Amino acid sequence: MAMTLRISDDLDQKLTLHAERVGVSKQKFVIRAIEAQLERENQSATASAVFDKVLVRDKELLDKLSSS
């Protein structure tokens, strides 16, 4: 699906410089940035879910450790 992305001239200049430095097109650079952000968000959500599970599962142990 096609998408038009409107950005400021300043951001476009920064994007151009970074894409050239990496040796990819601006489109490829933006796609990689989006994919990296989505991966970070997924990892964060997974970590939060695991943390919440541990808090419930190990509540008794954590309570004992905190009162020591």
Q: State how far the Cα of 16 lies from the Cα of 33, in Å rounded to an integer.
A: 14
Helix 26-57 × helix 9-22 angle, to 10°: 90
* In-domain check, residue 6: no
* In-domain check, residue 2: no
What pTM was computed for the model?
A: 0.71
What is the span of the domain harbouring residue 28? 12-66
Share of the chain above pLDDT 70, in %: 100
* In-domain check, residue 54: yes
* Cβ neighbours of residue 55 closer than 8 Å, sequence gap 6 or more: 62
* Number of domain units in the chain: 1
DSSP 8-class letter at 68: -
* In-domain check, residue 61: yes
Task: Say if CB 29 and CB 11 are below 8 A apart.
Answer: no
Task: Say if CB 28 and CB 19 are below 8 A apart.
Answer: yes
- Tens digit of pLDDT for each residue in 5-32? 999 999 999 999 999 999 999 999 999 9
* In-domain check, residue 25: yes
* In-domain check, residue 1: no
